[in-house]
A and B are shown apart, each in its own frame.
Chain A
Amino acid sequence: MPVNETLATYSDWLYRSALGVYLFAILFYAVEQAFAHAPRRKTEAFVGAGAPVPGILTDEPKSELSRSERIGRMGAALTVLGALLHLGSLVMRGLSAGRAPWGNMYEYMSLLCLAAVVTWIVLMAKFPIRRLGAFVLTPILILLFLGGTVLYAESAPVQPALRSYWLVIHVSVISISSGVLLIPGVTSILYLLKDGKADRFPKLPSADVLDRMSYRTTVLAFPLFTAGIICGAIWAEAAWGRFWGWDPKETVAFVSWVVYAAYLHARATAGWRGRGAAWINVVGFALNVFNLFFINLVTSGLHSYAGL
């Protein structure tokens, strides 16, 4: 099928616009983080934020939002706008090449980052953690930047080996679950910074909130990741006649699956709860990044054709 160049160009424009908008969102979040007052009440003030809690009312009149609050909201709105542009770029990519838009590493990373951003938007709506936006969006922006520069690939049909409806299922599920798992990686790092010292980094949410966020997100992504690996095994059986061949990618995916399973167990085990579990989640995050870059670009295996 011929590639529709016009749509491919639109896709690239939208990609760049999304990156720019994310960058502005990060700046807005950072300004909010920098200028917002730390909550005056030490214990879990963030949980009660929004509700009129006696004792922590600010000096301003209630109806008027503080400047940092307004800037933070602008950051959140920009994040949503960026996500829409980002989605548009993926859709245009898919339309221009006439296939699912996750056929090479650039598109894979784009989908992964979109999943992470959408997860972040959902979490922002559920937890009072908007100020962390800069910490979460920065790694995403770095990934997107690397994807758009070093790993960029022209819109084109996929290789014959990948022409299967399993590409649509397996790759999208793995990519989305990896994107969702990026968020608990970041919040676990923040948890490790914050944990044990309520006075340290007073502008971060309490360790409890960070821990709960990491857990909720991992619980959502883990079954998805499992399903993605199983879909890959089914595709492997259909394409190569065996479910599992200890291909480098398969091996590292298995290891990170075990690590995330260990995280879920650690959360329920006395002595590992808290710091131990957070470290395990960070290890899982590192493995995901390793799997994404090292395995795709350095080792040669059956998954490397998905690379450049």
Chain B
Amino acid sequence: MVARKNLALGEEIALDDGTKVRFDSVNDWVSLQVSHDPTQGYVLVFAILIILGLGVSLTVKRRRVWVRATPQDDGRTLVEVGGLARTDQAGYGEEFTRLARAVLNEEKS
């Protein structure tokens, strides 16, 4: 049985099958939810640290350069230069070439 009507206090409605619905009274009530979390401060601090750390790890370029100078038997020095980009930063190839050149030029002077 479906019926739709706004009842005022004390009014009643009879449904088709004879069921009577009466609006007797209203009880005021309130539902309160209280929570206390003493770790909120820590959560905030670490959340900020997460974001800062994320920013640093994504923006700082980590790259490695190795230089190995080996004295040769004939009195010359063999200089080997190697490089590896640890993070995903395009363009390390060119930068490495520049670095290697700089290193080798200093060797000469």
What does the 1/0 interface line of A18-36 toward B look like (CB < 8 Å)? Answer: 0000000000000000000
Q: Say yes or no for A242: interface residue by CB 8 A criterion.
A: yes
The segment out of A4-12, A147-155, A219-227 that lies at the interface is: A219-227
B44 CB contacts on chain A under 8 angstroms = 234
B51 CB contacts on chain A under 8 angstroms = 223, 226-227, 230
Contact of B43 with A223 in the complex, beta carbons under 8 Å:
no
The contact of B54 among A212, A222, A242, by CB within 8 Å, is A222
A230 CB contacts on chain B under 8 angstroms = 47, 50-51
Nearest neighbor of A268 in chain B, beta-carbon distance: B88
B88 CB contacts on chain A under 8 angstroms = 215, 264, 267-268
A215 CB contacts on chain B under 8 angstroms = 88, 90
What does the 1/0 interface line of A211-250 toward B look like (CB < 8 Å)? Answer: 0100100010011001100100110010001110000000
How many A residues have CB within 8 A of the partner chain? 18
The contact of B55 among A212, A223, A241, A267, by CB within 8 Å, is A223
Q: Min CB distance, A275 to chain B, in Å?
A: 15
B33 CB contacts on chain A under 8 angstroms = 241
Contact of A242 with B35 in the complex, beta carbons under 8 Å:
yes
State the CA gap A264–B58 with chains docked (Å): 9
Q: Min CB distance, A178 to chain B, in Å?
A: 17
Q: Say yes or no for B37: interface residue by CB 8 A criterion.
A: yes
Q: Min CB distance, A123 to chain B, in Å?
A: 15
What does the 1/0 interface line of A176-218 toward B look like (CB < 8 Å)? Answer: 0000000000000000000000000000000010001001000
Nearest neighbor of B40 in chain A, beta-carbon distance: A237
State the CA gap A234–B45 with chains docked (Å): 12
Q: Say yes or no for B77: interface residue by CB 8 A criterion.
A: no
State the CA gap A227–B47 with chains docked (Å): 8
A234 CB contacts on chain B under 8 angstroms = 44, 47
State the CA gap A264–B54 with chains docked (Å): 11
B34 CB contacts on chain A under 8 angstroms = 241
B58 CB contacts on chain A under 8 angstroms = 219, 222-223, 264
B40 CB contacts on chain A under 8 angstroms = 237
State the CA gap A201–B53 with chains docked (Å): 40
Can you report 5 A-B residue pairs in the complex whose CB atoms are below 8 A from each other? A212-B90, A215-B90, A219-B59, A222-B58, A264-B88
B residues whose Cβ falls under 8 Å from a Cβ of A:
33-35, 37, 40, 43-44, 47, 50-51, 54-55, 58-59, 87-88, 90
Q: 20 more A-B contacts (CB under 8 A) besides A222-B58, A268-B88? A: A208-B90, A212-B90, A215-B90, A219-B59, A222-B54, A223-B55, A226-B50, A226-B51, A227-B51, A230-B50, A230-B51, A233-B47, A234-B44, A237-B37, A237-B43, A241-B34, A241-B37, A242-B35, A264-B88, A267-B88
